[in-house]
Structure 1
Amino acid sequence: MTADAADAPAARRPGSRSLGKVTVALAVASVLGYGLLVLCGRVLGPADYRVFITFWGVAFGLGSAISPIEQEVSRLAAEAELAGRRSGADVPKVVAVAAGIVAVFGALLFIPGVNGQLFPDHGELAAVTLGAGLGYAVLYAVRGLLVGHGRITPYAGITAVEPTIRAVVAVALVVAGLAGITPLAVAVAAGTFAWLVFAPRAARLVDVRGAGRGWGPVARTTSALMAGSALTATVVTAFPAMVNLLAPGGDPAEVGSFLSALTLARFPLVLLLPVQAMAVPAVVRLVAAEDGRRRLAGWLVKGGVAALVVGAVGTVLGALLGPWLVRLVFGPAYVVAGWAVGGLVLSSVLLAAVQLLAAVLVAFARPGVVLRVWACTAVSTLAVLAWWPADAVTRAVVGLLLGSAIGAGVAFVAVWRQGRER
């Protein structure tokens, strides 16, 4: 038995101190992430910010599409840890499949029609996006290994280092007088290579000669999870790009202001990625216990009630305080209606519930069900965005509300059924 596997699995379970470290790391990531968005918004102004936030949406949307490999690797790692061994050959296979899919998607961004629509006068942003995607493919695998094997301290570290790199590079560019759209985009992409700091530690957790499935099963599982997450991205991180593609036109300043409010309402969902990854091995261990499925059902009911309460309170506060907060953060040029902010907050709460429920389904090794959940969410949202007879802002808000509500309902039923199966 290897030194890494010699520790009892129970010793690797996150305790309160470990969860505290992750909480601190998430707080750091939140502050630095919001700070970077505010810095870019103030430096660029509403019109240029619309182009930058579209790049941000595509880059982080691609990152969100890749993010399921963190959950899948964490599941594989948790199962290996329970068996007292290192992760096997499936881990590098998952990374290879994800990188291949990223390369195919990145090639699409260079198509003139797509490039010009997404990045007008800044076609080079396609290359920056591709680089960020390849960095994410390795980053999420490293994070999955660390959390799945219970290495919570380095996992918290990589969660904090990623946004720190972005912020440091961006501030350096602003100080140097290079605060254009492309340099700031490069700063965003730089954070995805935070894995270089933690790669040696993660490599010790993998035995590439260990047992694993064939390329076919790995490719099918990874592709299904990434397809579901790509649908997730269309309603979370890449939604600004969807607005530009499916609801073009309108006053650039008005749409840019709405997207600034969307940025504030959506950013916490990106921070849920580490929580999702931690949830996967936790559920794997939970259902292995004698009364685990009964406890899971109880948590599901309590979580559903909590989501409804938080959503109701958040909607009211968003409608009352949202427009003021947007002006305070981004500047007086950013004006957005209160009802729109309230709707964005409610949809964000519902999408957070869908993300956590999807992580539970990943733990049950049900990639097909995850794909169906996000298909229902994305298709309904984008259908309203494309065809609802109203202005772009109204279509965006109504679509997000409808899609997130449908997705939450489908995911809740799916998890309830999985929890009752024996």
Structure 2
Amino acid sequence: MNTVRPDHSGSDGSGSDGTPLTAATVIAGAIGYVIQAAVPGFVATADYVAFSIYWSAVYLIVGAISGVQQEVTRAARQREMGPRATGTLFRFTLGSAGVFAVAIVASSPLWATAAFGAATGLVGPLAVAAVAYTFVAALSGVFYGARHWRGAAGMTITDSTVRLITIGIALALGGGIILLGWAVAVPFALAAVSLWFAGGRRAVEAVELDVPLRRMWRNSFSTVGAALATGVMISGLPLLLGLTSRGLGETDLAAVILVTTLTRAPLVVPMLALQSYLLVTFRDAPERAAQRTAIWGAMLMCATALLAVLGALIGPWIIDLLYQGRYALEPAMFAVIIAGAGLTALLSLTGAAALAAGDHLRYVIGWAASSTALVVGLIAVPAGMWTVIGAVALAPVVGIAVHVSSLRRQASRSRK
């Protein structure tokens, strides 16, 4: 990880060898899964709801900021004749971080109490997480765009490992929600600093950008907007459920949040972690993008069907074993939740293909349409277990249709 060289050989983690990234994705996904599964076992039901809403708020913001990573990934390439990207990237990242921090702090009086209750002190760690993750996102985008898979893998593992440690310490100390909030936020900053000195600076100096700063700003409006919609659909879902589905009651709401979080992770988290990898893959072989999307999408749906059946058969038993019956749901609800997770993962796949083709508009519209359908569905229907779960499961279909129309449009152009 501390030898990031500007060539294209697989031995240094660049080039076509994505094995380090695949391994890092698996490890980070497992760590995130452990955190999500462990916290409700150490805290009371009410505290778990509060923690899950804060975690959701953090990753809703992080999800939006990942649009910065996507634009840097698209724009960054190994430097040949162009100028170094260092100055432009620094101004782009610092300006983005400032915008996100000001937006969070300035708007907090409007939403902090509704979201966090008495724990409005969580606004501080939330803002810190946003600033730190902006630098994580930009640096990760450089690694991905230049095909430095080991650098991207190192960023992924460092961030998740440090977070596991800090949350473990907070739980061991019996800390309250504020301490847990800082335990979630601080690892972003530590990951950015450590990776900068372990090869990030060299990687930034070795790339060039295919657009000037102003164009990056314009493009990032699209990618950040779409990433925010992505966050509403995925990481922001517990926050959205907490704001719209309190009518379920605390116990049922906690059960829906927990089961949704745990059962969606095996399908959705890997697809999100591989977004930049997919973006580069589709970008560098546009003639194969539609075929790859169809094949990988079919494989994803087969895996979803298998997991849905397994979830219905053994999911209730596992949840009962781990949490002594505190978070019970019907077997069929497990299957529907997992089916919705598979559709959300498919939306991530089709979105990456649309963005790689340069269709920023349909990329944004697809995610925005699905998130709008989700919000409208949760608000418009009565707060029942099945109506809530059904709205979450079906919302991705709208965005998938938009993204597929983009792929068909690109395929039609290529045949002319």
* TM-score normalised according to structure 2 size: 0.89
Q: Is the 8 A contact 1:315 1:345 kept in 2?
A: yes
Q: RMSD across aligned C-alpha pairs, in angstroms? A: 2.6
Q: Distance in 1 between matches of 2:101 and 2:85?
A: 26
In structure 2, stretches of 5+ residues that fail to align are none
| Residue aligned with 1:421, SS | helix
> Which amino acid is 2:233 matched to?
V
Q: Deviations over 1:2-57 (max 9, x none)?
A: x9886358987544xx4222222122212221222222111112211000000010
Aligned identity (percent) is 21
Matches within 5 A, 1:5-20: 7=7, 14-15=15-16, 18-20=17-19
Matches within 5 A, 1:105-184: 105-107=103-105, 110-111=108-109, 113-175=110-172, 177-184=173-180
Q: Is the 8 A contact 1:44 1:181 kept in 2?
A: no
For residue 64 of structure 1, report the CA deviation from its aligned partner: 0.7
Matches within 5 A, 1:14-163: 14-15=15-16, 18-78=17-77, 80=78, 86-87=84-85, 89-107=87-105, 110-111=108-109, 113-163=110-160
Greater displacement, 50-59 / 363-372: 363-372
Map of 1:280 onto structure 2: 279
Matched, 1:191 2:187: yes
> Which amino acid is 1:191 matched to?
P
Q: Is the 8 A contact 2:85 2:208 kept in 1?
A: yes
Map of 1:231 onto structure 2: 229
For residue 181 of structure 1, report the CA deviation from its aligned partner: 1.8
Greater displacement, 331-340 / 258-267: 331-340
Matched, 1:415 2:407: yes
For residue 395 of structure 1, report the CA deviation from its aligned partner: 3.1
Q: Distance in 2 between matches of 1:108 and 1:384?
A: 29
Q: Is the 8 A contact 2:246 2:253 kept in 1?
A: no
In structure 1, stretches of 5+ residues that fail to align are 288-292
Residues 211, 151 of structure 1: alpha-carbon distance in 2 compared, 3 angstrom cutoff: closer
| Residue aligned with 1:7, SS | coil
Residues 94, 265 of structure 1: alpha-carbon distance in 2 compared, 3 angstrom cutoff: farther
Q: Is the 8 A contact 2:76 2:146 kept in 1?
A: yes
> Which amino acid is 1:71 matched to?
Q
Residues 10, 313 of structure 1: alpha-carbon distance in 2 compared, 3 angstrom cutoff: closer
Q: Distance in 2 between matches of 1:157 and 1:5?
A: 15
Map of 2:298 onto structure 1: 305
For residue 165 of structure 1, report the CA deviation from its aligned partner: 0.5
For residue 266 of structure 1, report the CA deviation from its aligned partner: 3.2
> Which amino acid is 1:413 matched to?
S
Residue among 340, 348, 363 paired with 1:355: 348
Residues 213, 262 of structure 1: alpha-carbon distance in 2 compared, 3 angstrom cutoff: same
For residue 383 of structure 1, report the CA deviation from its aligned partner: 0.6
For residue 252 of structure 1, report the CA deviation from its aligned partner: 0.5
Q: Distance in 2 between matches of 1:306 and 1:71?
A: 24
For residue 97 of structure 1, report the CA deviation from its aligned partner: 4.4
Q: Is the 8 A contact 1:108 1:114 kept in 2?
A: no
Q: Is the 8 A contact 1:88 1:212 kept in 2?
A: no
Matches within 5 A, 1:288-303: 293=287, 295-303=288-296
> Which amino acid is 2:174 matched to?
L
Map of 1:267 onto structure 2: 265
Map of 1:334 onto structure 2: 327
Residues 402, 211 of structure 1: alpha-carbon distance in 2 compared, 3 angstrom cutoff: closer
For residue 83 of structure 1, report the CA deviation from its aligned partner: 6.7
Q: Distance in 2 between matches of 1:389 and 1:204?
A: 55
| Residue aligned with 1:297, SS | helix
Map of 2:381 onto structure 1: 388
Q: Distance in 2 between matches of 1:220 and 1:256?
A: 40
Residues 381, 27 of structure 1: alpha-carbon distance in 2 compared, 3 angstrom cutoff: same
For residue 335 of structure 1, report the CA deviation from its aligned partner: 1.2
Q: Is the 8 A contact 2:247 2:383 kept in 1?
A: no
Residues 420, 85 of structure 1: alpha-carbon distance in 2 compared, 3 angstrom cutoff: farther
| Residue aligned with 2:335, SS | helix
Q: Is the 8 A contact 2:142 2:207 kept in 1?
A: no
Matched, 1:325 2:318: yes
> Which amino acid is 1:95 matched to?
T
Q: Is the 8 A contact 1:228 1:370 kept in 2?
A: yes
Q: Distance in 2 between matches of 1:89 and 1:358?
A: 30
For residue 337 of structure 1, report the CA deviation from its aligned partner: 2.2
Q: Deviations over 1:92-150 (max 9, x none)?
A: 34423432341243125521x51121101211111111111111101011111112212
Q: Distance in 2 between matches of 1:55 and 1:67?
A: 18
For residue 156 of structure 1, report the CA deviation from its aligned partner: 1.0
Map of 1:290 onto structure 2: none
Q: Is the 8 A contact 1:89 1:211 kept in 2?
A: no
Map of 1:221 onto structure 2: 219
Map of 1:364 onto structure 2: 357
Q: Distance in 2 between matches of 1:330 and 1:83?
A: 59
Q: Distance in 2 between matches of 1:226 and 1:148?
A: 17
Greater displacement, 271-280 / 118-127: 271-280
> Which amino acid is 2:264 matched to?
R
| Residue aligned with 1:204, SS | helix
For residue 336 of structure 1, report the CA deviation from its aligned partner: 1.8
| Residue aligned with 2:261, SS | helix
Q: Distance in 1 between matches of 2:123 and 2:316?
A: 32
Residues 333, 137 of structure 1: alpha-carbon distance in 2 compared, 3 angstrom cutoff: same
Q: Is the 8 A contact 1:146 1:154 kept in 2?
A: yes
* TM-score normalised according to structure 1 size: 0.88
For residue 86 of structure 1, report the CA deviation from its aligned partner: 4.8
